[in-house]
Structures are given as structure tokens and as C-alpha cells.
Structure 1
Amino acid sequence: MSPADGVETGHTVGSDAYGTLCPQPSFEAYFSEILLCKNELNDTLNNLSHWMKDEHMEKNLVTQLDSVFIRKDPYGVVLIIAPWNYPIHLFLVPLIGAIAAGNCVIVKPSETTKNTERLVAEALPCYLDNDCFAVVTAGVEETTKLLENKFDYIFFTGSPSVGRIIMTAAAKHLTPVTLELGGKNPCYVSDNCEVQNVARRVAWGRFFNAGQTCVAPDYILCSVEMREKLMPALREAITEFYGSNPQESPDFARIVGDKQFRRIRTLLSSGRVAIGGQTDEQERYIAPTVLVDVQPSDPVMQEKILGPILPIVTAASMDEAINLINTRERPLIVYVFSSDKKVMNQVLEWTSRGGFCGNDTLMHMTLTSLPFGGIDSSLGKYHSKFTFDTFTHHRSCLHRSMALETTNALCYPPYTQQKLGLVCFASEVKRQGTCTLL
């Protein structure tokens, strides 16, 4: 399917992906839910024959006549639990990798996005072997019972609170897990950068899908001087994107559900609303909003926003900004905007986050060559080959030759110093050159 196949820019009320009362611009839906999934699938199909081959490894002197390799085996039965914010992308991308690795899969779509849940339950059995792939439609109680079963691997995307439940259930069976749990992604804006470009790129990343994106910039860190430059530029960017009244714009999405709407609306009490702030509960509309005078202790800074709210926290210097970033839980990504490569590199080197993106937002997600995953906020990584590897047991294999038994006999008792010397000579890994730790 392509844009010419019937996808047009505009609200898709009642869309399969987002539910009857949750419109999303078709451009955003096609880009995030269709195009990126097609890229993932095509990259996998293009490279799978190479990925799945035995990987032949280095040998020592003792094993020169032997076969040393890594075999790529499937784990077995995989459970994939998908979230509501990108309900197609975030079940289909891990599913592609799980199938490519040879696993059987049970998919549990989010019960929040009812239309997607129904679509997946009806469509998937039409295309995949029902003996190997199944869809479970379930709420919290049923999912809890589902987790009592033993799976060979569990892949979950969602909130940290539910992630802890998943991990506890997996621990009972010693089941390996991948947990993608989000986090508050900082966005440092230095004093030397193109303010208009920064404003457009940050506004696009923050307000794409009404902010319901786990890798959106969650808050800006900048000096007071840069904040004063950014405010009019952000206001101009929002107007450029969505017009003077974003509620009437066909290019601005709505919040996925009533529960999510009410949670996000309470966050508007943090700091002071400088741009936006309007809400409409019936439409689940929250305007593109910028908050200033925000303190690190405010509610909006204590949880993942997943809504169209952009707090600005002031930091007097880059060192202060880095310190604030490092005192908080490590999220999925850190964003930096600067015209100075030294600033970019310093933030990269002195922060530890799942990923890094300089002078843009979200665009790292378009690259199948980069792994996706966090540290504190996640366990494991995926996307393209990394997804294949996630769902693959890398099995170490050695096929020894039955010849030269006299050489093998060096390892047998009775032991002697001469035997030990020969074994060390044949199997020891030698140091080559020097290693300098910077």
C-alpha cells in the first residue's frame, strides 16, 4: 500500500488503528504504522538468508581441523504484548523478527485500541498458520492468567508498572524478556544553534501523534536566554504546522482514550502555560502546549507525558544540564541541538542513555540499521537484525575431528608439566599490541 492507494492527509475518525473517537492524521498513521513496518519487513526479507546462516568463528591451534560455529535457533513460543500508542507498529515489528527467527508467536494487542485489536484478531489468522500463530484479545484479568503459562520468550512494550508485573511473571519460569518501557527523554538546546530549525524539529517530534510517542522529546533543557528565543520560535512553528486554531487542523491528532486524556490534563498544572493549554474532553483534544517555569520536582517531570505538552526547564550551563540528565532515570534517548560539535560530543560522552540523536527528533527511528532500546527504562533491543537476534538463541557449536587423537591425548591424565606447556601453547590467546584506556 502507498499514499496513492487511498491514504490522504486528514483526520481518520474511526480508523482501524486508533478507535472510533481517536483521529490521527493519515500522513502520520501511514508514516509510522505502515511505511516503517514495510521497511522493517523488506530489510528482513532482503537479509534473512544471511542472518540465519551458521556463523563460523575463529579457532585456536588445537581446533584447526574442527568446525567452530554459532547456530541460530528459535527460542520456541514467544508472547508479544503490544501497547496502544502505535498499536500496529509495536506489535508488527517484533512479530516480523520473531517469525524470521523461526518462533511460534502469541500476540496480545492492547485492549485500549479496540479497532486494532479486532483487526489483528480477524486478519492475522487469514495470513499465518493458525497452528503456529495466535491472537489473544484480553483485558487485565485475562492477561494476568495468560502470563501464568510458560513461554520461551516474552516481548512487552508499555509502562514500567506493567513491565514489573511482566518480569515477575516471567521470573517464575525463568523466561527471558525484552521490556520496552519508555522514559523521559531530555532535549538539551545549547545557546549556539539555529533557533527556528530547533523549534520546528522539536515541535514536530513532540506533537507528532499528539505527543503519544515513547521517543518524543519529553522536556527541553536550556538557558534562560535560549528559552526567550525559543518561545516565539515555538509559537511560530506550532502556527505553521497547525494554524491559529490547532483544534480545527486536520494534521493534529487526538488523545487515544478518556483515561489518558484525564491523566495528561492534570499535568497542565505544572509550571505555567506559555503556549496552548486548551482542552476539549468530548473530542479528547489537548492543544499543543509549552510549559515554562517548570521545576524538576513538578508532576509533569515525574512521569512519561505521552501527550502534547512540552515543559521547558532552565539550566544555566551545559554542565548543569548534563548533571540534571544524569541524576534522573536513564530513558530511551537523549536529544541535543547545537551548532558546536564539541557540545554535541560532550553530551554524548557524559550521558548514558538508550540512544542519542543530534539536531533532530524521531528520525533515528527511521533507520533499520540502528538498534532500539533503553537502559533503566528497558531490557534488550530490537529493530531489523537486532529483532532477529533478540528472538534467536545463538547456539555455540563445535564439531571435532576424530583424527589426531595423539594431539587430543595431551589433555588426558596422567598430567605432566610438559603436557600443560603444550596445551597452553596450542590454546592460549596471545595479547597483540597495546590497549589504551582513554
Structure 2
Amino acid sequence: MRLSIVGLVGVMGIFGVFGAGCSSEDVEAPGETDDGSAITSTDGTPLEFRFDAEVVASRDTTPKNAAIAQLEYLQGVLTTGARANAQFRFVDVTNVRERSEGAKKRINYSASVAVIYPAGARVPSTYKLAAPLDVTALGAFNEKYDGPCGRNEYGRETFWHDFNPAAPGCTLDADVHQMEARVRPHPLGTTDKYPEYDKIWADDSLDIVAVYGAISDTTDNDAGARDREAFLSKVERALTDATRTEEPRQPGILKHSVVTGKTRVAGQQRSVRLVAYFISEAASAGRAFMSSYAAETAKADFILYSGHSGLGKNIRALADATTPTRGKYQIAFFNGCQTFGYLGSQMHEARSELNGRASDPNGTKFLDVIVTALPAYAERLPTEQIMFDAMLEQTKGYGDLLRRFSGQQWTTHLTTVFGEDDNTFRP
């Protein structure tokens, strides 16, 4: 969720038995990997955690889904232990071995997970992890460890958000699977990539879809409503012959505004269109909003969500409804709390299938995603305004943009870009 400010506080917590692996060796050099998603972060260090794991699941659960259910607890482990986070929903699962155990099965697997670690903090060569062994018994696990090993912030059913095996007095029994991850710089980490500005303007137009979720209430004074109005006003001021229209209110849509106009970019007069919604909550916004959003995102160059993550449900609802168009490049920015961990692979899978797995195997050829690894708070200058200026100027790379984002935050969000490794634009 968004708490009413991409980077990380450069101060490490005190590590107990679960945390940095207490090894003095340097991390190993990058090598080959099967993971096709590049990653950029300026306030954080992109890492790869590799480890062997074991999980008990129901017989009809796929190994990948069992691993995701187990590794969801890494969010608590890493945010409490290191102010870091893992992209566990994109876990690469290999070397799978399954053994039946009655109505369940035991799965052994090897995993590779992208992690964003605080910039400036010493990177360990190993990192101790812990997660539930049996993902069919998470209710019992949460009841047992909620309190001694961290305390739930949003309800016991989401204890994965707060699980802290390093908490004083925490004792882990056989129902906890303990792992030691081997740590190295992310093999596909980048520092010099740019948004594909040429693809954005290939049709001589810029189409933006911006969704603002209510932060505290649904009035015009809400932080989300104010940020929406500020973005609409900024875009309108930047255009000639600008017009703003207000669409009729529909169930689930509090406000729906459209700004259109012209601007001169690279010596040419070009069109800009901004569609901006204000909603209470994405996951429950309903059919009218989702239908409108899906239609608008099919032609969008830049898609923004600014609001509460809802512990992931709002992020996944919007990702599911975002419509890909064959061969169309898009930037999607999910500016809520911990969206790095909450976002799944559905957007990428849809694009890979649409564009052909032979040419777009990872769904990144026409998609860059900007996410936050930590809680996101209000910003001095909302970062979508920085992105809008960048699209008009066409000179700033992702590294520069992320540094500018960080400079506007009251507390750092550890913002990250992934999927940009195949970008070719240079100013």
C-alpha cells in the first residue's frame, strides 16, 4: 500500500542468526543465468539469491506455485532483517524432484530470486533464509509464529509480511524450512539503459493512463486526489490547445478526466492524451472501471498506478487488467508499497504469448516495469511528473530518473526498473 515517498535507508539493522551470512568473502562475480529480466536500481543493489529448498504441498499444486507460496515469507524475512526485498513471484525453479506423501507431496527444488539490497550496505556472500515447510498448513504456521517471530501488522493471515526469524526469542522448529542463499550481483543488472523514447513517439503521440487510489478518504482533499489533480494540471499547462473533459461518474470510478493537446517534441508538433482516474480501491473497483482501464491501457505508452498496494491485491488486479497490444512498447509504474514483491509475471506472460515466445521469451521486449521494494510514502514532487518531463525531453536514462525520484521522497522507496536489458535507445 502507499502510505501517503525509490531508494533505501542506508543503515542496516542488527542481524541475528537469520540475516547476513556473516561471511567475509566478497560476492562472486556474475555469470550466466536463465532469468531473462534485467534490473536497475540506484538506491539499491540488484542481487541474485540462489538456494536449494524443500516444500510440502498438496498433490495438485505445481512446483512453481508451491515455491511462490513458500517464498512469500521472504518479504518479511528481508524487509525486517535487511530493509531489502525479493521478487519471489518471478522465482526461477529448477532441479525439481517430487515425492508423494499421502494427500500431499514433498518437493525439492533449486531457486533463483532477484533481490534489491540497500545501496551502501555491505553485501554478504551468503544469506540465511527461513520459510514455512508445509504450505498446506500456513494458518497453523502463522498462529504459532505470530508474536514470537514478528507480529502481524495487517492481520494474521498476512503474517508473511512481518515474519522475522531474527526476532529476539524466536525459536524455529521443524515446521520451518531453513536455507542458505548464495549471493552474487544480479547477472543482468544494468546502469546505462534508457526508456525507449523513440518507440513511445513512433506514432507522433504520447498516451498516458494514470490511476490514483484513495489514500485516506474519497474527498478532493485526499492525497491521491490531490496528486491526480496536480498531474492533470501539469500536463494541461505543458500543452497548446489543451482541453480537459470530465467523464460521467460510474460505479467504482470517483473521477475520470481526460486532457488532450499538442506539444513540440524533437522539432515536431505531436499529440498528448492523459486519462486520469480516481478510485477507492483497484481490487474492488468493479466492471465499469476495469473495462475502461483495459481499453485505455491497450493504447497507452505510460501506465501509472499511485495508491495502496492492498498487500498486493490492487497491484495484481491492475496487472491482470492491463491490456497488451502486439508490438507496442509500454512503461508501467506501480507506485505503491513493496510492488517489487507483489507484482507477478502475468503482464510478461501475456506479452510473450502475444508477441511470440521466439522473439519475446520473457515478455520484456515491449515492456519496462518500475516498482518499489519498500513502503512508499508521499513525495515532494510526485514522480509521474518527472516521468512526463522525461518523455518530452528524451534525454534521461533510468539511472538519472531513479536518482531524481529518490530526491523527491521523504523516505526512500528503493525504486527499481526491470525488463530494460533489451532497450536500445540512446539520445
The normalised TM-score by structure 2 is 0.25
Greater relative contact order (Cα 8 A, min sep 6): structure 1 or 2?
2
Structure showing greater Rg: 1
Instruction: Looking at secondary structure, tell me which structure has more helix per residue.
Output: 1
Higher strand share: 2
